[in-house]
Amino acid sequence: MIRAKVYVYLKKDILDPQGKAVKHIIGNMGFHRIQDVRVGKYTVLTFDDSVSEEEARQQTNEICRKLLANPVIEEYHFELETLPLGAPAGDG
């Protein structure tokens, strides 16, 4: 069973208002030595046991390009991990 951990985030030149808001709140909490905050999405796809690593890589790439990431403003990367057969699907 293969799990893909997908990270989607704004390109570095794109303004991130959510990150700026979090940075402001963190400053109000007393943390003044954080110079930048960026907020993105973390998505975990769990494939069933019939999917090979190469298929999982291709499908994850396609799902990222077509659904999870907006290629105009966002970038993504992902990692694949192989789980033992019968591992629970919903684990972090």
- Any contact of residue 72 with a copy of itself (CB under 8 A)? no
Q: Which of 17, 54, 67, 72 binds a copy of itself (CB under 8 A)?
A: 67
- As a whole number of angstroms, the distance between CA 92 and CA 88 comes to 10
Give residue 29's Cα distance to chain centre: 26
Q: How far is CA 10 from CA 21, 23, 27, 65, in A?
A: 15, 16, 22, 14
- Any contact of residue 61 with a copy of itself (CB under 8 A)? no
- Any contact of residue 41 with a copy of itself (CB under 8 A)? yes
- Any contact of residue 90 with a copy of itself (CB under 8 A)? yes
- Any contact of residue 80 with a copy of itself (CB under 8 A)? no
